Structures are given as C-alpha cells and as structure tokens.
Amino acid sequence: MAHTAFPSDIPIPKDDGACTHLAGSKLPPVSLFATSGDRVDVSSFSELTIVFCYPRTGAPGETIGDDWNSIPGARGCTPQACSFRDELAELRKLGVKNVFGVSAQDTSYQAEAKARLHLPYELLSDEHLELAKALRLPTFEWKGTTLIKRLALASENGTVVKVWYPIFPPDANAREVIEWLGTRE
C-alpha cells in the first residue's frame, strides 16, 4: 500500500491525556540537527512557530505492514508532512513564521524524505529523543525503536500556546492549524 493511502480500517487514536501538560509550558533549549545541516533550537524563536511531530516517514519501496497499521495514529506521516507543504502559503498569511517537522529518524533519512516530498520547511532529527524527553512527549515502541506519537504544537516566544493531540486524520493537521489561526485575535 502506498505511503499516502489510508486503509479504511486503521484504528483512530484516542486522547490519553499525554499532552495535557504542554499548553503554557516553555520549550526547552534543545538543539536538533535539521535537514539543512544546521542545528535548530525551536525555543529560540519569538515568532509564531508550528512544530509537528510524527513517528516516521516510510522509505521508497518499503512495505507497510499490518503491524504498523494496527497502531492507533501511526499511519499517515507522509500525508501529514505534505499537508503542511500544501498549506504553507496560507499558514504564512496567517502569521506563522516557522514550520518544522520532528521525528526520531536520523537527518540523512529525513533529508531523503524532504527532497522526495518537496518539503519547503526543515525536518528536525530528535534521534536521541532529547526534545521528546525534555517535553515529556508521548512515545511508543515499534520494532525496537522508540518513536514520537503524532502531535503538533504552536509556540510564541518559546512558550507553547496550542497543542493538537491526538491528530486524525493526519492529512487534516495543517487545516486544523489554519482553522485555529483564524480564531486568534
């Protein structure tokens, strides 16, 4: 099955409360490698910044198995990333200065996905789960690897002002952010 397709029977994630502590919290000063080769500390931005976390993007030719599809919220990383790509102009019009995708995948893996998907924003590697641990982000285990559950947050002046969790369907995440931006004064 293609990475951009959704099986009709995938389980929908439920809100387990794992992100309730994030609203109003300060982002920790954690510097992550970006696909540009630079290091980025998302806590350093005063402007409106959107950070979306996702478990992992699939590799070209990779077969997506039922074990992955059976995990609530796991499926849909590529559609989520592409939704932010497709809605970036609208996000900018509504005041978003920075958009970053974050996963536990290494930078070289992310760079391939960024190029293949034509993503106009940076992906950040939390390969050592520094940001995930500092923020106490929800994670899950898959094939011996710890992955970050899908979520998104908005920050200003290094403070989380909005959290989206759980996210379903993943390809609607950027649109949810746009709807929220439209309600801000």
Tens digits of residue pLDDT in 67-78: 998 999 999 999
Q: How would DSSP label each residue in 97-109?
A: -EEEEEESS-HHH
Q: With bands split at pLDDT 50, 70 and 90, how would you rate the model's confidence at 112?
A: very high
Tokens of 87: 């809605």
Domain boundaries, the chain: 32-183
Give the H or E element holding residue 46: none
Beta-strand relationship, 98-103 and 49-53? parallel
Whole-number Å distance between alpha carbons of 80 and 69:
15
Is residue 1 predicted with pLDDT exceeding 60?
no
pTM, full prediction: 0.95
In the three-class reduction of DSSP (H, G, I as helix; E, B as strand; rest coil), residue 153 is classed as strand
Place of tokens 């746009």: 178
- 32-183 in CATH: which number? 3.40.30.10
Q: Percent of the chain beyond pLDDT 90?
A: 88
For 37-59, how does the pLDDT look when each residue is reduced to its tens digit (9 = 90+)? 999 999 999 999 999 999 999 88
Q: With bands split at pLDDT 50, 70 and 90, how would you rate the model's confidence at 7?
A: low
Q: Which of 135, 168, 182 is nearest to 20 (CA)?
A: 135
For 114-163, how does the pLDDT look when each residue is reduced to its tens digit (9 = 90+)? 999 999 999 999 999 999 999 999 999 999 999 999 999 999 999 999 99
Q: Please calculate the CA angle 141-58-4 and round it to the nearest 5 degrees.
A: 115
Whole-number Å distance between alpha carbons of 61 and 89:
30
Q: Which of 123, 125, 126, 121 is nearest to 98 (CA)?
A: 121
Q: Which pLDDT score, from 0 to 100, does residue 62 have?
A: 83
Q: How far apart are the first and last CA of the chain?
A: 42
Q: Which pLDDT score, from 0 to 100, does residue 60 have?
A: 83
Q: HSE on the CB side for 72, CA within 13 Å?
A: 10
| Helical segments of 15-117, H only | 66-69, 77-86, 88-93, 107-117
Tokens of 175: 């649109």
The arithmetic mean of pLDDT across residues 97-110, rounded, is 97
Cis peptide before 169 (omega within 30 of 0): yes
